[in-house]
Structure 1
Amino acid sequence: MVRGGGNGEVELSVGARGGGGGAGGLVEPPVPISLGRLVLAGMVAGGVQYGWALQLSLLTPYVQTLGLSHALTSFMWLCGPIAGLVVQPCVGLYSDKCTSRWGRRRPFIMIGCILICIAVVIVGFSADIGAALGDSKEECSLYHGPRWHAAIVYVLGFWLLDFSNNTVQGPARALMADLSGKYGPSAANSIFCSWMALGNILGYSSGSTDKWHKWFPFLRTKACCEACANLKGAFLVAVLFLCMCLVVTLIFAKEVPYKRIAPLPTKANGQVEVEPSGPLAVFQGFRNLPSGMPSVLLVTGLTWLSWFPFILYDTDWMGREIYHGDPKGTPAQMSAFQDGVRAGAFGLLLNSIILGFSSFLIEPMCKRLGPRVVWVSSNFLVCIAMAATAIISWWSTKEFHEYVQHAITASKDIKIVCMLLFAFLGVPLAILYSVPFAVTAQLAASKGGGQGLCTGVLNISIVIPQVIIALGAGPWDQLFGKGNIPAFAAASAFALIGGIVGIFLLPKISRRSFRAVSTGGH
């Protein structure tokens, strides 16, 4: 139900139909859930994010050892946004209408996690599979040529992994909104964000370890040397961790099955009208989006346009602009670049730690200030941070030319400032991972349904900016003298625009509705 307050705010409350069943279904009031049970219900997010962090830290360097060029590697990453564009809205819609006795979301979460495990095994063992299919039989430490069978197997596994990740993420977020009850979607999304942060911490830590081949020597084979064995070990641990998280979520997320109570629509001649399915149903579902969602989608897109340059090129920025290295330069420059990349990976670890702690502050801030103020403020913080990268880069170049002629590296002070910047960005990133989804859940509740569809549609506003940045950042940087600063400058501008647009267009959700949005059954 939607109530208009005297100050123009929208206050939401949900009764028996608040689970997202839509016009033709019914979800009984959810069983009251304790906060501890709600926390455990979201644990699968940590397992999925663990594997995603390994993807970001390990797979780009690894695939180039199989024969794919750097350019092809960048295009390979486009499968993520393509999967998100197609899979999440469809899965979200299907999960809204799923009548399984196990619930609406859990069947999709379980199937997606099983597919993730299969994909991870394919990626980790791609070199061994390629050797069995006809790649070179030479010792991997001696042969440095292309291994095309392994590369093809890897790409197939990588695409399956991204499609599987998107199969899980949408229903997992919708599940948390369904179960949030008296705690509200804001608290549920903060919990989800915390699990993501924990998964990032564990994933980046696991990916930075080069001891897996020593701890599990049987992973090293004739076709798989130390780096490959390390990846294989990290990914096998990711499978075990994901399975544990999945079991906990399936046990503690007690869903109420969706039941259809309205008759199927009929045509004028009395025939039953077949409901659309697949992408067509998703496009028709756009017409039923809650009022306010278009503004949320626009601001979400602008916000992610300000984030993706840093997400995609942060470690490269550390290697090039801060450590003054070059991946194709002299041995000293190549070494400096790798030092910068490792420093950037450590910065991401700090970022994830701050993100985890900050996620617990999101709900109190939304209660006190309102979600719109919190979201807009995070955009302005990102604007300042992206502009700061240019200042830090100029400072680093000045220090390098004047004081550090004897070595290609970064000064101690600049390293500290960069680590502080990485850590600082954990706060607005926690807001980005939580508030847009909480606002979407609130708006979806206002029409009594569609949590899965709305969450999937919101993901479109994330993947389109990723495609734009992936295709445009390289030529944009090349146009203005290579490096990463032009893309970061554009990111600062997008953050500023997103903040200004958010002030005027974002729906003003009542702060009271973040305390309790579901009154039915409590």
Structure 2
Amino acid sequence: MNFGFLGIQFGWGLQMANMSPIYKYLGAADEQIAKLWLAAPLTGLLVQPIVGAMSDRTWGWLGRRRPYFLIGAILSTIALLLMPNAGSLAEWLIPHLPKFYMAAGLLWVLDASINISMEPFRAFVADKLPEEQRGTGFAMQSFFIGVGAVVAGLLPWMLRNWFGVSPAADGANALPLNVKISFYVGAAAFLTAVLWTVISTKEEPPADMEAFRRKKSETKGIGPLVREIGSALAEMPTTMRRLAVVQFFTWMGLFCMWLHFSNAVPVIFGSGDPSSDLFKRGAEWAGVCYATKDAVTFLAAFVLMAAARKLDRRWLHAVCLVLGAVGLLAVGFIHGEEQRFLLLGALALGGIAWASILSMPYAILSGALPPERMGVYMGIFNFFIVLPEILAALFFGGIVKHVLHGNLVWAVMAGGGFMLLAAAALAFVPAEPRAEPAQGAGVAG
């Protein structure tokens, strides 16, 4: 059921570890990178609630959620194959514009496509599992996400150091060869893993198919879809409102890391010049750090599976967020390539937080949501992931330039501060989340 997440994470893992260096390889300045990442949150804001609501109303020969897995996987595969050739595509299609704009455009396509596949997966797990197994189900998602991300993050480094693939670029502003091949491998892995889930799992039809069809016919078109999202926002359960604050600060911290860590590591090594071999070694080591984070993620997922059955999920999640914050803050105290292994420890703490971020909020939330609106609410919940990312993308570039004086390491450390705020906000989430009375009784978190 969750195996498709292995492939989805190849898409996420490759872009998180490589997009910031790719922008620099294609000529972008540090202060421009935040806005070039704007594709990720905007596509999530638009796609996730719409796909979630649509999948609630879908039923066909492939089921309810699986059609979206398949469509998203096909489109993502195409985008992953095109991304390594962004510079050449730019010369052909928009020769008078900077090449990094083509990479940004492809990131829009890639992110939208990944979201089409990923969003219904959250609801898919909640559909198929009873409440007492959802903590395990979402933790198993974290496991497969971790496995996929480990391999995706390591790929450029592995290709250079294990298989002798040259990091040399073919021409000015071109991507290193090992990065290009990594995206091709990721495209194949994405499609294969999602196809496995589509083929090997089944979905149960609605209990009352006639009522389902009648409701579907009554809510056709964009208008009812928009009204459904608006209604769900207005009737949002209290638990979801409180968790929204936690998500906001959590993902503000994560986005600070994703925006700048891959370019901060070369600075720690001693070079900010993307044409230098030291910069390339630093960017590759950032991928190793991300892989370490994600290796810890899938190991921590097993611990979380067991702990979530016995411990208060709120405090379990808070402890994990604090550990992640410590890891990001520690980056500021690491200096030089000779201390590169300390960066692995810092991101390993981030892996503990990431395992919890991918599972505990959804496990807490799912018991407070009405089953018939699970898809739309899971999509809306992601509003509080993408809104902080949009704010970071719009304004953090200016903050880095004018407040942090271009210090990318401080930008990563700021992410640790936001994670501490997220951990503190968990104190206000109800211990036993319950659905609103009109939506039916909830269950213990």
Do both proteins adopt the same fold according to a TM-score greater than 0.5, normalized to the shorter chain?
Answer: yes
What residue in structure 1 maps to residue 273 of structure 2? 327
Matched, 1:429 2:354: yes
Q: Per the alignment, do residues 107 and 314 of structure 1 end up closer, same or farther by CA in structure 2, a change over 3 Å counting?
A: same
Identify the match of residue 347 of structure 1 among 283, 289, 293: 289
* Paired position in structure 1 for 2:229: 282
Aligned-residue identity in percent: 21
Aligned to 2:261, which of 298, 310, 314?
314
Gap runs ≥5 in structure 2: 435-441
Q: Could you tell me which residue of structure 2 aligns to residue 238 of structure 1?
A: 186
1:241 partner amino acid: A
Instruction: Kindly state the Cα deviation for residue 285 of structure 1 after the two structures are TM-superposed.
Output: 2.0
Relative distance call for 1:164 and 1:377 in structure 2 (3 A) is same
Offset, 1:427: 1.0
The answer for the alignment partner of 2:17 in structure 1 is: 57
Q: Which residue of 2 aligns with 1:32?
A: none
Task: Provide the C-alpha distance between the structure 1 equivalents of 2:342 and 2:85, rounded to a whole number of angstroms.
Answer: 39
Asked if 1 retains the 8 angstrom alpha-carbon contact of 2:404 and 2:411, the reply is no
Distance 1:386 1:67 in 2: 27
| Structure 1: distance between partners of 2:282 and 2:165 | 28
- 2:117: which partner in 1? 168
- TM-score, length of structure 2 as denominator length: 0.84
Q: CA distance change for structure 1 residues 210 and 120 in 2, over 3 Å: closer, same or farther?
A: same
What's the TM-score, normalizing by structure 1? 0.72
**Match 1:377 to one of 319, 323, 330:** 319
1:247 aligns with 2:171: no
Counterpart code for 1:46: L
**Cα gap change, 1:416/1:299 in structure 2, threshold over 3 Å: closer, same or farther?**
same
Q: What does 1:70-89 correspond to in 2, within 5 Å?
A: 70-89=30-49
Once structures 1 and 2 are overlaid, which stretch shifts more, 168-177 or 117-126? 117-126
Q: Residues 421-462 of structure 1, C-alpha deviation per residue, up to 9 Å, x if partnerless?
A: 222221111111111122222222xx2322211211121111
Q: What root-mean-square deviation, in Å, do the aligned CA atoms of Structure 1 and Structure 2 show?
A: 3.4
Counterpart code for 2:142: C
Rounded Cα–Cα distance in structure 2 between residues aligned with 1:246 and 1:96: 20
Give the corresponding residue for 1:504: 428
**2:211 is paired with a residue of what secondary structure?**
coil
Match of 1:261 in 2: 211
Say which of 92, 98, 107 aligns to 1:158: 107
Cα deviation, 1:248-273, whole Å, max 9, x if unaligned, reads 101222101233517968xxxxxx78
Shift of 1:473: 3.1
* Alpha-carbon shift at residue 210 of structure 1 (Å): 4.7
Higher Cα Rg: structure 1 or 2?
1
Counterpart Cα distance in 2 of 1:387 and 1:60: 20
Work out whether residues 326 and 349 of structure 2, in 8 Å CA contact, stay in contact via their aligned partners in 1.
Answer: no
Equivalent AA in structure 2 for residue 117 of structure 1: T
Post-superposition CA distance 1:393-435 (Å, at most 9, x none): 5xx4xxxxxxxxxxxx44x4x3333321222221111111111
Amino acid in structure 2 at the alignment position of 1:282: I
Question: Which residue of the partner structure matches residue 389 of structure 2?
Answer: 466
Of the three residues 334, 340, 346, the one matched with 1:415 is 340
How much has 1:126 moved relative to structure 2?
A: 4.0
CA separation of 1:108 and 1:421: change in aligned 2, threshold 3 A: same
> Structure 1 residues 93, 416: CA separation in 2 closer, same or farther (over 3 Å shift)?
same
The one-letter amino acid paired with 2:426 is G
Output the CA distance in 1 between the equivalents of 2:219 and 2:140.
Answer: 41
> Post-superposition shift, 1:293?
1.0
Structure 1 pair 64/262, CA: closer, same or farther in 2 (3 Å)? closer
Q: Which amino acid aligns with 1:90?
A: I
Q: In 2, are the aligned partners of 1:296 and 1:506 still within 8 Å (CA)? A: no
**Deviation of residue 105 (structure 1)?**
0.3
